[in-house]
Copies of this chain bind each other. A is one copy, B any other.
């Protein structure tokens, strides 16, 4: 397999797009721009190799189904940003890192081993006796896009698809 080297323009276009999407969620790309460009280059190389943006810091299997959890942003990014203020690669960082309040530190690998991934059944304990009728707010559903919001009344405009309040229905 011969890797196709992405052009600086391709790297820059993707870096901009990922940066914009991160900012909308309250995250940031790593401000070390050389470091970030290198990771974005890795995403593009993986796209050429496998057909998808698998994580540049992990070894992909090349089987899409087995790699789904490490297509960037990976299933572990948000949790790592929460616990370590950065994702495993340090491509994404939190406010605290950007403002200098917190230093980057190594992020341990959170991805389960292949065996564990297969048998993992996530579970958490809801408070005992909790049922739909014990919820504190009704849940409204946008009939256009399926957006859910828990509040006394539906939002005036769906924040996702911009449908008006009249397009919401009581869901729970």
Contacts and interface: CB of A to CB of B under 8 A. Distances in A.
A79 interface: yes
A27 B144 CA distance: 14
A16 to B, nearest CB: 14
Contact of A71 (B21, B132, B159, B167): B167
A57 interface: no
B135 A78 contact: no
Interface string A74-116: 1101110110000000000011000000000000000000000
A31 interface: no
A7 interface: no
A11 to B, nearest CB: 18
B79 A152 contact: yes
A14 interface: no
Contacts of A172: 126, 130, 135
A171 interface: yes
A60 interface: no
A71 B163 CA distance: 9
Contact of A157 (B25, B77, B130, B152): B25
A156 B122 contact: no
A135 B126 contact: yes
A160 interface: yes
5 contacts: A26-B156, A69-B143, A78-B151, A147-B159, A159-B161
